Structure 1
């Protein structure tokens, strides 16, 4: 039997303390970024549906395609420990001008696990905006689309 991913929209929005904890955890994760080529450190903090937080940072490689983004690092850590239902993710970078946004590959990986979670995009000073995956990846393709085949 196939494992169900993601799920329905979470009816309870995150409280301010949870949002601040995610932002702080993503900022801490950013400290460990390995980015000698781009000098663009990114941190992410992923909240599972049962309240556990997994952090991740970007990890570059001299063979560029082998690098991995912070968002995917956090998701891979969570999935490797049996978590596939998520409520929110916070992403932060060092920019003061723009918010940290997931690349296209990360948006698709996030989509694998649902499209109704909260996404907090932050600047270096912690200023953030809240989006959903549907905002970032409209008309997306996900696991349920394969059931139509």
Structure 2
């Protein structure tokens, strides 16, 4: 949806999928991607996958962020401890949980309700893996 909203085509060659929840899937997916070409940036499904991608990138003799920028998703406890520290999208888990619980209660009371789409905001946490300087560092 985001690509379409910005008039960008979907390119299968720029996507590498690992097996969800399988140890090392980010590493394997990054290796597959690097076999096809060297991207300028990678956006991973979560921070663990991003950390595994960083390992694969470094094993190929490439540098993060100088050769490939990496961004994760979830801002878990791992993100500030990767090398370089991982730029990531922070999700608001408590709000997500509260909305999910509310929706579950609604469905218990009225099971025939149609599906709904709930969108939550995220927040970009800029660290070293993307190559961008934080606003405070730019001044």
TM-score (norm 1): 0.28
Which structure features the higher share of helix residues? Answer: 2
Q: Larger C-alpha radius of gyration, 1 or 2? A: 2
TM-score (norm 2): 0.29
